């Protein structure tokens, strides 16, 4: 990959970065009286176009999905190498795979659940899937679909559809990051895998699942050894804190685990996970030659959309500004 | 043939979405017009029990009353995630009073 190929893309990304919502703006939105005021505040921003087409507060999802679609369309236009955008878009493909398989098993129309963002041409993939024409599919998808179908045939357990596809997703994502070969992306993927493995450990501990189940759920390719994570299923949160004090993701992980210990709420853990992942992307702001700013901008914008979703849902349910502030994520700018 | 009735829940999205996990059919509504139309449509479509959040029910008292005199569907008020308005409990008290002659609760 030639870093010089990204000069124009980075320049255009810099302009887009300027339009990201600032901390002060988000704070103002959090203080809004109700959802209508949130809309009014957003009217002076990039979101005004989507807001003009939405009349009711309850339809906030339309605004956010419009922006998300626009984000991927723009980024695909400005990047010299689609694989950078593919790294971030891959999750939507696997989401669509889940919907597609469940649609077939349930014999129900779930078309409103599909995401319009894709890496491969999804309508073609679906056509191949429904016609049983697996040999024309991308090998990663084919392998995943075949295993899910085999497993579902045997177990009839719909939870396993998600489990298996998630495992294939992270395997695929890691492979893509390695192919691109940029250090930030590989770190990013490895760190997410660590966080998710530890989150799974906490969740399964709460559900009282055994280690056999955990072995099925645990994702490969993280920084932390598989064995080390497997054994945490029996550990207390304190022990986990101690064990992972020197791991790569410690700065975020320790905060996450500590707040989990206090509140027993995994949503806090996830917040610190998001904050940490944003933190490792921040140096991209100072990269002028290379793909990092494009990747980081997509993450930044997705985080912004997530923050706005948190605020809007909270406004519709009359959550106090203080409680909202405790839930929103760190921003890129 | 055994007649199987379905269960529906009507209300704002964040209060009722979790019912989906129980196999209950979920109908999200935002305003009174939509609520009225939804309740009337599902009442005609083989639903035996309709749970409806108090917040939405308070917008359409006439519609709720209309189903008081029908055996099917049973319209039952539940609190939403905003807490209770006490209309649901009041209705139970009234019904008990009607059935037993005095308020024994």
Per-residue pLDDT tens over the stretch A280-321: 999 999 999 999 999 999 999 999 999 999 999 999 888 999
Q: Answer whether A323 touches B (CB < 8 Å).
A: no
Identify from B11, B16, B30 which residue to disrupt to test chain A contact, counting A C-beta atoms within 10 A and taking the largest count. Answer: B30
**Residue A249: pLDDT over 90:** no
Q: Does residue A80 or residue A138 have the better pLDDT?
A: A138
Cβ-Cβ pairs closer than 8 A, A with B, add up to 11
Tokens of B48: 């035996």
Name the residue facing A56 among B13, B30, B81 (closest C-beta). B30
Q: Answer whether B82 touches A (CB < 8 Å).
A: yes
Backbone angles phi, psi at B53, to 5 degrees: -70, 150
| pLDDT score at A190 | 94
**Residue A81: pLDDT over 70:** yes
| pLDDT score at B2 | 65
Per-residue pLDDT tens over the stretch B41-74: 998 888 999 999 999 998 998 888 888 888 888 9
| pLDDT score at B70 | 84
Per-residue pLDDT tens over the stretch A155-213: 999 889 999 999 999 999 999 999 999 999 999 999 999 999 999 999 999 999 999 99
**Fold annotation for B6-100:** Rossmann fold (3.40.50)
Measured in angstroms, the CA of B82 and the nearest CA of chain A are apart by 7
Q: Mind giving me the DSSP string for B64-82?
A: HHHGGG-SSSEEEEE-BTT
CB contact under 8 A, A58 and B13: yes
A309 by DSSP, 3-state: which? helix
- Average the pLDDT over each of A30-44, A129-143, A239-253 and give the range with the smallest value: A239-253
| pLDDT score at B1 | 54
Domains of chain A: 1-81+291-333 (1.10.132.50), 83-182 (1.20.1690), 183-285 (1.20.1690)
| pLDDT score at A38 | 93
Q: Which residues of B touch A316 (CB under 8 A)?
A: 12, 14
CB contact under 8 A, B14 and A317: yes
How much is the average pLDDT of A211-225? 91
- Average the pLDDT over each of A16-30, A86-100, B82-96 and give the range with the smallest value: B82-96
How much is the average pLDDT of A46-72? 90
| pLDDT score at A53 | 86
**Residue A56: pLDDT over 90:** no
Q: Which residues of A touch B81 (CB under 8 A)?
A: 317
Q: Mind giving me the DSSP string for A103-172?
A: HHHHT---GGG--S--SS-HHHHHHHHHTT-GGGS-HHHHHHHHHHHHHHHHH--HHHHHHHHHHHHHHH
Per-residue pLDDT tens over the stretch A112-124: 999 999 999 999 9
pLDDT band at A1 (very low <50, low <70, confident <90, very high): confident
Alpha helices (H) in A7-59, listed in sequence order: 7-18, 23-31, 35-42, 48-52
* C-alpha distance across the termini of chain B, in Å: 39
> Across all residues in chain A, what is the average pLDDT?
92
How much is the average pLDDT of A48-74? 90
Measured in angstroms, the CA of A299 and the nearest CA of chain B are apart by 26
**Residue A77: pLDDT over 80:** yes
Of all residues in chain B, the one with the smallest CA distance to A57 is: B30
Identify from B11, B13, B27 which residue to disrupt to test chain A contact, counting A C-beta atoms within 10 A and taking the largest count. Answer: B13
Measured in angstroms, the CA of A317 and the nearest CA of chain B are apart by 7
Q: What distance in Å separates the CA atoms of residue A116 and residue A278, rounded to the nearest whole number? A: 25
């Amino acid at each position: 990959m030639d870093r010089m190929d990204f000069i124009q893309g980075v320049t255009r990304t810099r302009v887009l970065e300027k339009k990201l919502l600032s901390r002060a703006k988000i704070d103002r939105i959090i203080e809004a009286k109700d959802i209508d005021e949130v809309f009014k505040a957003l009217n002076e921003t990039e979101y005004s176009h989507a807001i003009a087409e939405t009349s009711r507060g309850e339809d906030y999802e339309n605004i956010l999905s419009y922006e998300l679609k626009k984000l991927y369309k723009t980024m695909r236009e400005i990047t010299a190498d689609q694989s950078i955008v593919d790294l971030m878009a891959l999750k939507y493909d696997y989401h669509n795979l889940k919907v597609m398989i469940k649609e077939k098993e349930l014999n129900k129309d779930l078309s409103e659940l599909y995401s319009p963002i894709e890496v491969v041409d999804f309508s073609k993939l679906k056509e191949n899937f429904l016609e049983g024409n697996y040999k024309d599919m991308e090998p990663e998808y084919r392998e995943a679909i075949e295993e899910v179908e085999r497993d579902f045939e045997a177990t009839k357990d719909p939870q396993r559809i998600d489990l298996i596809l998630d495992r294939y997703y992270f395997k695929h994502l890691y492979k893509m990051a390695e192919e691109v070969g940029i250090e930030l992306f590989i770190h990013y993927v490895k760190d997410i895998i660590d966080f998710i493995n530890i989150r799974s450990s906490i969740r399964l501990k709460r559900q009282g699942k055994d280690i056999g189940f955990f072995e099925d759920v645990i994702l490969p390719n993280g920084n932390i050894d598989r064995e080390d994570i497997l054994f945490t299923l029996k550990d207390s949160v304190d022990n986990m804190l101690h064990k992972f004090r020197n791991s790569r993701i410690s700065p975020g992980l320790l905060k996450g685990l500590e707040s989990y210990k206090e509140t027993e709420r995994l949503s806090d853990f996830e917040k610190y996970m998001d904050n940490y992942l944003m933190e490792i992307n921040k140096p991209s702001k100072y990269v002028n030659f290379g793909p990092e700013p494009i990747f980081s901008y997509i993450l930044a914008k997705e985080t912004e959309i997530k923050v706005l979703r948190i605020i809007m849902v909270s406004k519709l349910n009359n959550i106090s500004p203080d409680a909202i502030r405790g839930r929103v994520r760190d921003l890129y700018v | 043939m055994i007649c199987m009735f379905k269960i529906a829940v009507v209300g704002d999205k964040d209060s009722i979405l979790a019912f989906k996990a129980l196999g209950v059919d979920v109908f999200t509504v935002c305003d009174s017009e939509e609520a009225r139309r939804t309740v009337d449509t599902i009442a005609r479509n083989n639903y035996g029990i309709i749970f409806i959040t108090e917040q939405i029910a308070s917008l359409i008292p006439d519609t709720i009353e209309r189903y008081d005199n029908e055996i099917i569907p049973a319209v039952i008020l539940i609190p939403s995630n905003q807490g209770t308005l006490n209309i649901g409990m009041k209705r139970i008290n009234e019904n008990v009073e009607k059935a037993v002659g005095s308020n024994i609760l």
